[in-house]
Structure 1
Amino acid sequence: MQASLEMMGETEIPKMGLRTLVRRAERRHFMTMLALMAPSVIFVALLFVIPILLFLFRSVDNAEIPTLLPKTAVALDTWRDGEIPGEPVFAALASDLHALKGSPDAALLGRRLNFAVPGYRRLITRTVTSLPGTQMASAKETLAAIDKSWLDPVYWRTLKSQSGRITDFYLLSALDLQRGAGGIEKVSGEQAIFMSLYGRTLYTAFGVTALCLLIGYPVAAVMAAARPAVANWLLSLVLIPFWTSLLVRTTAWVVLLQTEGLVNKVLLQLGVISEPLKLMFNTAGVFIAMVHVLLPYMILPVYSVMKGISPVHLRAAASLGANPATVFRTVYLPLTIPGVAAGCTLVFVLSLGFYVTPALVGGPGDQMIGYFIAYFTNSAVNWGLASALGVFLLLLIGVIYLALGKLVGFDKLKVR
C-alpha cells in the first residue's frame, strides 16, 4: 500500500482520502488471495464435493420409473389403492412397456422394481418380450394372460409408490423400514439387517478406538519423555506403516494370524496355549488388524500435544507434595486431553468406514457399513441403497462429532 501511495503522489492523497486508499488496497489483496485459492477450491469442488453430493442424491433419486413409464405414472395418480386398476391404467402400462421392446431400459426398469418386490424383474422382462405388436382389444386381459401377477394389487401398489421423481424407499430400507398398506412399517425379521449393522459398526469403531488409546497413550508418553535422538527413532518406527499399502499390511496379518501362522506357533512354543487359537475370520482378527493400521493416527496427535507440555508444571505439582499418580491425574492428563480428543476422533471416524481389513480378516458377521456400501455399489448395482447407507454413515459421524465436541470442546478436536 505504501508503494501505491508513493506512485499516486502526495497531492492526490487528500483528494481520494486515506480511507479509500486503504479499502482499495484491502480489496486488491482480497482478490489476489481469491485468485491464488481458486485452483485448489475448483479442484476440490469438482473432484470431491460435487461427486459426493451427487452420490448422496442417489439416495432419494428415482428417475428410472417416471422416465421409463411416463404414461403409467400419470394414470396411477387417479388410482386408489386396494383394488385392481381399470383399463386406462393397464393400457398406459402396456403402451410404456411396448416402447421398451428391444431396449436395455427394460432390464434397468425390472432391476429397479425388483429392489422393492422380489420377482418384479422377471415380471417386467416376461411382459415386455410377450407383448403383441398389434393393437390390443383389452390391455388388462392381455397383461393378465401374460402373467397373472398383474392382477395382484401388491405390484400396482409398489408401482404407484415408486412412480415419483423423489423417493424415500432407499432411506427407509437403510433403516429396515418400508411403506405398507398401513403406512411405514418394519420389514420382516430375515430382511432386517441394517440396524444391527449400525450397531456392529459402532461397536467395532469404539472398541478399536479404545484399544488404540490404551496402547498409543503410553507409547506417546515414552516418546515425549525420551531424548531427541531416541524420540526421532521411535517416531520413525511409528511412521513406517505409512510407507506400506493398507492391503499389504492386512494381507500380512492374514499370514500371521492363521492357524499355522507365526502368532500361534510362537504361543505354542512358549507354552501359553495348548492348541492353536482361532484368530482369523472373527472379531479378534478384525480388532488386531485394525488397531495395527490405525495406531499411528492415535499416537501422533497425542505425542504432538505431550511434546509441548512443559515439565515445569509437573515439577511444581510434585514440589507441592503430590505423588506421581496425583500429578498424572490432576496435571498431566488434563493437559493431554486435546491430543487424546483429536486422536480418538481421527481413529473413530476412519474405523467407521473401514472396508478392506474386515473383508479380508473378519467373518460374515464382522462386516461393517463400508463393506455393504461397496457391495451395493459394485455387485448388486443398487446405488440408491448404497447412497442411503452413506447418508446415514455421514449423519452418524456428524452426531458423534457434535457429541464429542460438546463434551470436550470443538477446539480440542483439531489435529495439531
Structure 2
Amino acid sequence: MNIPESELPRIVIVGGGFAGVSLVKMLANKNLQVVLLDKHNYHTFQPLLYQVSSAGLEPDSIAYPLRKIIKNHKNSFFRLAEVKAINAEEKRIETNIGALHYDYLVLATGTKTNFFGNKTIEDYSMPMKKVPQALNIRSLMLQNFEKATIANTSEERKALLTFVIVGAGPTGVELAGAIAELKNHIVPRDYPDLDTQDMQIHLLEGNDRVLPVMSEHASKKAEEFLKKLGVEVHCNTFVTEYNGKSVATNGALHLESETLIWAAGVTGAPVDGLDANSLLDRANRYKVDRYNRVEGYDSIFALGDIAYMETEAYPKGHPQVAQPAIQQGKLLGKNLLRLVKNKPLKPFTYKDKGSMATIGRNKAVVDLKHFKFAGFFAWFVWMFIHLMALVGFRNRVIVFFNWTYNYINFDKAARLIIRPFKK
C-alpha cells in the first residue's frame, strides 16, 4: 500500500462518510499518522442524493474529493481501496491493494441497501445510496419520458410514466416530492405531447404513516403536502414482488410500472474478520461501548451508522443519520488523542439537533426538541442547514445558485442523459 513507516501511532480509518471525515478533521496535524481508506475518492453528501436523482443537482455539487480534505494535513494519507478483512490479532487489515498494519482501527463503513432477502426486488428495483445509483435513477426517469413519447399503446405509456417509491422515510418523501415537481413544472414544458395525467407517483410505506421516525405532526403535514403535489400515498403496504414491470403488494394494490425506487431500509456494511458476537444479527452493526470501542477489542472502534451504542436515552441505538456520525467522529478524535497520552476517555452523549424533511417547493417539516413546524419557514430552515452542512465553499455556492435558479424559473437544469441506464 506504500504508506511510509513512522514512529507515530498509526490510525487507519475505513470510510470517508460523515463519521470518517469528521474524525479525520479532528486528527489533523497532530502527532499521529492517519490513513483514510475508501472505495471512492470522494465524500458524498447523502441527504441531497435525491436531488441528483431528480435532475435538480449535478453530482459534483454534493461530492467532495477526500484528498482535498486532507491536503494540508501532515502525516495524513488517502488510499483508494476496499478493505477485505481484519486480522485483529496481528493488527492488520487486508485490502485489494495490499495489507496495512495499524495501531488503532476505526470502522466507519456506513450502511448498504437492505432488500430483506427479496431477490426480485434486488434484481429489478433502483436503490439510491450512492452517486452512481442516483445518476442511474435520473437517466432511467428521463429515458422513460422519451420512450413514453413514442409508446404504441396507452398501457405502455402509463407504465413508463408510473413511478413507485418504496419507503416513506425522509429519503422516500423527499424524492416523491421532487418527482412530483418534475411532473408539475418540467414535463408540461419539455414534453408537450405527453398528458401529465398519465404520470403517476406512488409512495408505499409499511408503517401506518409517512415519516415514521418523525413526530405525528410532521407525518400529518408531510402527507398533506404530498397529496397536494399529486403523490398517491399508500400506508401499511409492503411490496412482495417486482419483475421490472409489475408491482405486487401485500394488499389489493397492483401497479404496472417501469420504475421502482427502493428506499425502504438499510443494513450495516461490516468488514470480515471480527468476532461474530460483536455484530448484531439483524442490523449488521457493531456493538460499541460509550467510547465507540467495538465490543471485545481494545484498539478497534466503530462510528456512525455501523455502530450500535445502547444508552439510557437510546436503548435501541442512535438513529442512522448524519448528526450521530459527525458527533461521534469529533469525540473519538479527542479520545484518540487522550488515549495515546494515557489520559481517561470521555463517554459519548448524543445531542439531538432535531430532524427535518422537505417535500418540494416551500414545503418542509421540522422537528426540534421543543418546536415542531411546517411550511415555508421549515423549508427555509431545511435549505439553510443543508447548505451550511455541505463540504467545501464551492459546493455551497453551486448548490445555492442552482436552488435560486430553480426557484425563480420553476426549472431543474440537470436533466441530461449523460450515461444511459440499461436494465
Q: TM-score per shorter chain, which class? A: under 0.3
TM-score under structure 2 length normalisation: 0.19
Question: Which structure dedicates a bigger proportion of its chain to helix?
Answer: 1
Q: Which has the higher contact order (CA 8 A, sep 6+)?
A: 2
Q: Which has the larger radius of gyration?
A: 1
TM-score normalised over the length of structure 1: 0.20
